[in-house]
Amino acid sequence: MGLSELNMRRVLRGQVIALLGVGLATALRFALELAWPGALVPFATYFPAVVAVGYYGGAFACGSAIVLSVLAGWFFFLPTAMSFAVATPANVVNLILFALAAISIGALAVLLNSRIAFARRVEARLHHAHLASGVADWEWDLQNDRVVWSPALYKLHGMPTGDLNPDPNTVFKSVHAEDLAQVRHSLAQARDTGEPLSMEYRATQPDGTVRWLLCRAEAVRSEDGKPLKLIGTHVDITSRKEVEQQRELLFHELNHRVKNNFQVMASLLRMQAARVGDSPAREHLNNAMRRVMTMAEVHGSLYKAGHIDTVDFADYMRDLCEKISNSVLLNSRVKCHVRAEKAVLKVDRAIPLGLVVNELVMNAIKHAFPGAAEGEIHVTFAPRDERFLLAVTDDGVGLPLETGDGAPAPARFSGGVGLGMRLIEAFTQQAGGELKFERGRKGAHFEIWLPKNLFIASDLGTGKPEAKAVNSN
């Protein structure tokens, strides 16, 4: 059916409604006149007819109904009856006032119909969108303890839409037993305090299938701040949870394989070191073995955090330094402290920085405190001037003014001479940072400056890093 034909059908339908409406109004007016002669104004029954035709028939039908009502009332009920003659000026005024009033109420009826039709279309689209996206909404009147669900929420819980609006206990019946305590607590807290609600739980369907649902809600409060109702949404996140579970399984498998590879490499280096009689060569192989094991520890720390591509760098630093300290068995005369602020960093940036910290802390442990000297190692991570500073310092003997071969070195040295320093510089560049350090002073002081844009999220400006001694044996 074409658009023009559809419009024609709509127009004809409207005209039929107009004729029926005016006809019924005329018949009713005759009946009332017989029952109560002279008691009604001529156009009394035509007002509701115009409203009804305007609402159900549309603007064009309403216009026809107004014209027909004017003519019918004029012909049948104005003096002189059964004629279009006008007996008095008052009748002319009566006729004009009816026409103006009919136009006004007819326009309101058409507008009301348009608004209601628009609201119904929006509601229908929203309903289908909710069903398609797995989103449902609800409202909990806290004063009357009355809950109203959208049809989509019934579907999420596997309940027939025709059921009465449920109370909170209906929700509890469908909640997975392992999540029930958490759901009860979260709902009670939101009800009593009016705080925003956000929770994930499993809902068991009548057929035994389980859906993961994300529930969020905000409170509507009275003028004195008392929560009156909770308005919220439910989202079906079952697919997302299944993806997360698959990813976690793959993550476990990847971690297991990587850990095994690191152990194989370390074992090969240890076996080779045991066969080498030359002491310097054995030391180099042992150092290489320790670096491999450090990489394994770095990987283990990231795996422990539970993230694949990001890590909280502050927690990462504390965990890493604790593992380093425990691995070399620091005695009570040397302590390692970590002061770090929370900041989220990509793993591909965090790994080289972890290796830098490992090299610097290991060097300090081995070289900064000869003999029975006591001291401290400090690892600091904090914002400085719109950048982040990662610093490793100690109060030991400091860096020598000579390089490894006895040649003098400048006070501010831009390049290392040993393998360890070359690794530190390479890892710093890989992380996108800038390395600075000084020689010829009390204690060693290394700084790695990192641009703020390397971090996904951070709390710049607090200036209060959390301090923790990671080893105090």
SS3 label, residue 203: strand
- CA distance linking residue 291 with residue 307, whole number of Å: 23
- Residue 243 tokens read as 């993806």
72 near 22, Cβ under 8 Å?
yes
Res 101: pLDDT: 92
Q: Answer yes or no: is pLDDT of 463 > 60.
A: no
Mean pLDDT of the chain: 80
Q: Answer yes or no: is pLDDT of 188 > 80.
A: yes
- Read off the pLDDT of each residue in 36-50 and give the average, rounded to a whole number: 85
- Read off the pLDDT of each residue in 98-112 and give the average, rounded to a whole number: 91
- Read off the pLDDT of each residue in 120-139 and give the average, rounded to a whole number: 77
Q: What is the CATH number of domain 134-236?
A: 3.30.450.20
- CA distance linking residue 342 with residue 316, whole number of Å: 10
Sign of the CA dihedral running 184, 190, 191, 192: positive
Q: Answer yes or no: is pLDDT of 109 > 70.
A: yes
Largest Cα–Cα distance of the chain, in whole Å?
135
Phi, psi of 311, deg, nearest 5: -155, 145
Helices then strands, counting H and E runs in the chain, come out as 12, 14
Would you tell me which CATH number, out of the four given (3.40.50.720, 3.30.565.10, 3.40.50.150, 3.40.50.2000), belongs to the domain 309-471? 3.30.565.10
Reported as a single tens digit per residue, the pLDDT across 309-355 is 777 888 888 888 887 777 665 556 778 889 988 888 887 788 888 88
390 near 353, Cβ under 8 Å?
yes
- Residue 133 tokens read as 């996206």
Q: Answer yes or no: is pLDDT of 301 > 60.
A: yes
Structure confidence at residue 472 as a pLDDT band (50, 70, 90): very low
Q: Answer yes or no: is pLDDT of 170 > 50.
A: yes
Res 411: pLDDT: 38
Reported as a single tens digit per residue, the pLDDT across 209-226 is 888 999 999 999 988 888
Task: Give the dihedral of Cα atoms 341, 346, 351, 354; nearest 10 deg.
Answer: -10
Nearest to 214 by CA among 159, 170, 156: 156
Q: Answer yes or no: is pLDDT of 108 > 90.
A: yes
β-partners of residue 455 are: 345
- Residue 375 tokens read as 């001291």
- Read off the pLDDT of each residue in 131-139 and give the average, rounded to a whole number: 76
- CA distance linking residue 424 with residue 446, whole number of Å: 10
Res 256: pLDDT: 72
- Read off the pLDDT of each residue in 38-49 and give the average, rounded to a whole number: 85
Q: Answer yes or no: is pLDDT of 278 > 80.
A: no
Residue 302: how many other CB atoms lie within 10 Å: 22
- Residue 289 tokens read as 């073995």
The residue count for the chain? 473
Res 462: pLDDT: 41
Residue 397: how many other CB atoms lie within 10 Å: 15
Reported as a single tens digit per residue, the pLDDT across 361-410 is 888 887 888 877 788 899 999 988 888 999 999 888 887 765 544 444 44
- CA distance linking residue 69 with residue 444, whole number of Å: 101
Res 304: pLDDT: 61
Reported as a single tens digit per residue, the pLDDT across 402-444 is 554 444 444 333 334 567 788 888 889 988 899 988 766 678 8
Res 135: pLDDT: 79
How much of the chain exceeds pLDDT 70, in percent? 83
Reported as a single tens digit per residue, the pLDDT across 6-35 is 778 888 888 899 999 999 999 998 998 888
Q: Answer yes or no: is pLDDT of 136 > 80.
A: yes
Nearest to 73 by CA among 42, 44, 38: 42
